[in-house]
Structures are given as structure tokens and as C-alpha cells.
A and B are shown apart, each in its own frame.
Chain A
Amino acid sequence: MAATLPPPRLLPSGDSAVTVEFSRTIDDDANQRVLALDKALAATPIDGITETVPTYRSLLVHYDPGKIGFEALGEKILPIATRPLPPVTKARRWRVPVAYGGEHGIDLEDVAKTLGTTPDDIVIRHSGGDYKVAMIGFTPGWSYLSGLDKFLHMSRRQSPRLLTPSGTISIGGVQAGIQCLAAPSGWHLLGRTPVRTYQLHRNPTFLTEPGDRVTFYPIDHKTFEDMDRAAEAGEIVAEQVDA
């Protein structure tokens, strides 16, 4: 039998939630453990758990203290959280179209300048990446992606923008992102996708799940307009392939 993994920290988030923390930093191994624990708890539910929220480095477990106490829950979670990781299973992969630059990606030129290269090179590097949805948070459908090309790592903007458009494709620090709704952001805006990761009356309402793989491909602005209309009408304009 394989050795167990080091235990996560169990941090109380009030009386009705516990943060199961695998790492303090962005770390793909930790994220794999987060997603594995999330999956295991979904497959074999522990009575009293009401909701789980995966993030880069921790799993937030909401529970009903009327059904299970902090200590008892911790005792049930720890053996599952220290199990060796199951073999990697096939993930879904989304091919996401992006209109880079111009009005849709107002920071593309500046990013190229800052990194000492051309906008085309940025597009090739960004769309050539192999990403994983590490977590979804902040606003509905906002998918945080790991796997950004090291060359593209750069600190966030000094002053965040109060409003950035729906569908914004951006980078910030070591992360890449797909933003669904218009929202404030301090990240660098490279382009826009017609894909809605969240659309209320569509089935499914939420397109991406933590653990999904993502790749991007460039489209021209005319194609963006066409796909955007189709997406508004409820079409999933991202292509799903097996990873």
C-alpha cells in the first residue's frame, strides 16, 4: 500500500465551515489534492457537509454544526485528504476562441512592450498554452487557470480597472483567466471570448468545472461578432474535446 500524503491544515472558517489547506502558495500538486478531495467528498458524501468550494490551494467545506462538529468532521476528512492521489483520469478539454488585441484586448500592445516582444508573439504564447481550471470564484463563472507560460508572468496593474468587459481573457501574476460577467479587474486584458462560462437559462448554466483543461485559439473580430450572437442565443461556442 502506498504511503499516505502529508496531512493538510484544518483551519476553522467560523462555526460552519473548515478550510482544508494543502499549501499556502499556488502549487499544482496542492491543487490536484484539492480537486481529488473535492471529488472524493462528492462520491462518498459525509453527513453534514452542505457545500464544497475548491480553490488553488484549499478546499472550503461548508457544514451544518447541528449534524457534525468541527473535530468529528476533521477526523473524517483527514484520512481521505491524505490518501495517495488516484491515477490521473481523462479530463474534459475546452477549446476557447479569443479575439485578441484592439478594442477587445486593450493591454495586448503594452504587455508586448513590457515583455520586450511583439503582440503576435504574446498571442502565440497565450493561445499555445495548456491550462487547467484551478478554481472558479469572485463572480459567477470567473475561471482561474494555471499553466500560464512563464514568459507571460507579470505583476498586476498598479491600479485596478473599475469595470472590464464580459468575456475578458486576461493574465495576472502567474495566472490566466476567463472572466464571464463585467467586473472590476487589475489583470492585463489580452482579448475577449464570446464563450459564456455562466449563462442563466442555458443547460448547463456553468460551462467550466474545476479540473477542466482549457486551450485558446485566435479568431478575428468579425468571427467574434458572429459567435457572440450565437452564444447570446444560448449556443456553447466553445468546442469540447477529450483531453
Chain B
Amino acid sequence: MSRLVVASIGPASSVQDGGRHGAQRYGLTVSGAMDRLSLAAANTLVGNEPFAAAIEIGPFGASFTARDGAVRVAISGAPRNADIAGSPVAMDTSVTLKDGETLTLGFARGGAFTYLAIEGAIKGEAVFGSLAVNARAGLGSPYPRPLQAGDEFTVDAASGAPELRIELPKPATGPIRVLLGPQDDEFDDANKALLLDSEWKISATSDRMGYRLEGPAIKHLHGHNIVSDGTVNGSIQVPGNGAPIALMMDRGTSGGYPKIATVITADIGRLAQTSAGTAFRFKAVSMAEAQDEARKFAHAIRSLPDRLRSSDIVALNIEALSDANVAGYAVSAVDAGTWQVTAEP
């Protein structure tokens, strides 16, 4: 066994997986990765099940050191500069850290969450089938709380498998798609239009429980108190002050504010990766379109292994470009995200 030690890490970073299902009826929140596609991509790169437990890294930088042997990892999600001792590591690739080597990740450049998957996955004690951290309920394994420097994971020694990259489908652009309801009849047409026709920004006070939306105030028809009912990931509830909150993975299982609309499954990860302060819009779609997109999204995750490629081309390009880098620009300052683009076959 090897160890992967957290040398440094910012807030809002924790172990996450596909989430804890089956106990919402007891008030147990689902938790799990904010961006499931990126979690699945990172896991697929190192041969894990798509929703195996991995490290969800918040918007700040982080670094990880291999001890007692080599550790094979992969990164996907919000793009960042990444390097091992100055050698750049591209997003959406696997890489093996030799004993003592450190992978350093910079701040997220757009988006918020990057996933670091470890070959063989993170090991721990599952509760309701999940290692996902739910700090409020004291759940999550091996650490039932956000990660801190000095935390470490006992992991499989690197297999020595050839390194891979993954060609992800082009990320969707455009408005975040929603289905109106379940309580859209608590709002008149003008206020529903306000949700759909306005520009929104995500407040900096957002977290894994909910994204607070900044924009015009939405007014209720009959006041903001409804009898509590169940919530889902992506429920957009409107509290008394009229500022909507999109409920995310650490949401309460029930809530007493009218829910005007629900973000479709295929777009929840996109919303999760929208940086605070970035303007975006919503668009209403039909149930048929939303469910079609949900099925396509599930298929995209299942077929991730078909998108794996040898990462040789990337390595060659990096080498060539490093050699050409005679003007004295630090290689680590090169935007790691652009390496993939030059590596397209």
C-alpha cells in the first residue's frame, strides 16, 4: 500500500462520491459530488467505477504527496494549472506520482470543483453505501469533515498502467435548463418570467447546501410559507426575501419555501461549476426534453471508457514544447488547459 498525503488544501474540499441514497425519508441528505460528470471522468481515467469516492477540491489550490510508494491519480473538472516538480500535468489525464513526488494544483480558472481520483479509489467505511462527507451529520469516511493539510489516504500502490487522457464531450453552453414546478403555481406569470428572462449571478455566500442567486426579487402569490415537502438536487426555492436559492447536494431533505422550478439533471453539474459573480440565464424546457437529456447524461457517463486515449501524444507535445521553451518562460506558468487542445489528434 502507498499513502497519498494532503500537503496543502483550501476550504470546501472533501471526499465525495455518487452520494448516499435511500435514507432521505429519515432526513439524511444525499451529498455526493457537485459535478458528477467530472467525478466520473477522473475515476474512469484510473480504472475506477464512475462514482467511486474521490477528492472534491474547492476553488483554491491544493497539493498532494505520494509516500511509501507510487500513487496513480487523475484530475478532471474545473481547469487549473497543475504540475509535478515544475512539469505540467494536463487536466483530464492520469499521472503517476513516484514516492515523494508532489502534485500541485493552482486555483480553479473558471468553475469551482476539480476531482482528484486515486487508482483503486479512496477506501473507508461506507454509511448507506457512501463515503461522501456530510459534515453536519458527522458522516463521511475516512474523514467526516472537509479535508485539512496533513490528512492522508491509504491507497493502492500504482499499477504501472500506461497513462491515459479522456476526450470529454464538448461541455454544453447556453442557459441552465429548468423544469417549472413543483410549486410554480405559487407564482404569477410575470414572476415566472422574471426567473426565466433575467440575468442571474451566484452569490459568494453559496456552498454545497445551496447556491444563492442574485438578481431581481421574485414575489409569491400567497406568501412564502408552504407546508414543508421534499426537495431534490436542483430545486429552486424562493424564500421570503425573493432571492432564489438553488438547492445543491448537501440540501435539507425537506423545505418549507415554494419551489418555482428545478434544474434538470444534465445541467446541475454545469450550475455547480458556474463561478460566483458570473452572469447566466435559465431556460424552461419540457419534461420530454429534460428526461431525454437525463438519459443522454447517464449514457455519457456509462460510455466514458470509450473516450479514453493514450496520453503519449500529450507527453510528446509537452516535451517538444518544453524543448522549444528557450525564451525562459517557466513551463509551469503555461496554461495546462491549453495542452489538451494542442494534443487533439
> In the complex, how many angstroms separate the beta carbon of A71 from the nearest chain B beta carbon?
8
Q: How far is the CB of A164 from chain B (nearest CB, A)?
A: 14
State the CA gap A200–B137 with chains docked (Å): 9
Q: Is the CB of A54 within 8 A of B25?
A: yes
Is B179 a contact partner of A60 (Cβ separation < 8 A)?
no
Q: How far is the CA of A16 from the CA of B21 in the complex (A)?
A: 14
261-300 of chain B: CB within 8 A of chain A: 262-265, 287, 290-291, 293-295, 298
B262 near A55 (CB under 8 angstroms)?
A: no
A interface, CB within 8 angstroms of B: 11-17, 19, 21, 24-26, 38, 50-58, 60, 62, 65-66, 69-70, 135-142, 144, 181, 183, 198, 200, 205-206, 210
> Could you tell me if B25 and A52 are in contact, using CB atoms closer than 8 angstroms?
yes
B interface secondary structure, majority: mixed
> In the complex, what residues of A have CB within 8 A of residue B340's CB?
none
Assess A181 versus B230: contact at CB under 8 Å? Given A70-B291, A141-B26. no
Candidates A14, A50, A210; contact of B25 at CB < 8 Å: A210
Within 8 A of A (CB), among B290-321: 290-291, 293-295, 298
Q: Which chain B residues have a beta carbon within 8 Å of chain A's beta carbons?
A: 21-28, 127, 136-139, 179-183, 226-235, 252-254, 259, 262-265, 287, 290-291, 293-295, 298
Within 8 Å by CB of A140, from B26, B226, B263, B298, lies B26
A198 to B26 alpha-carbon distance, docked (Å) = 9
- When distances are taken between beta carbons in the complex, the residues of chain B under 8 Å from A52 are 25
Q: Are A53 and B291 in contact (CB under 8 A)?
A: no
Given A13-B232, A142-B27, 10 additional A-B pairs, CB 8 A: A12-B181, A12-B182, A14-B232, A16-B232, A19-B229, A51-B24, A54-B25, A65-B291, A70-B291, A198-B137
Are A135 and B228 interface neighbours, CB within 8 A? yes
The interface residues of chain A lying within 8 Å CB-to-CB of B291 are: 15, 65, 69-70
Task: Output the least CB separation between A133 and chain B (Å).
Answer: 11
Contact of A16 among B27, B228, B229, B265 (CB under 8 A): B265
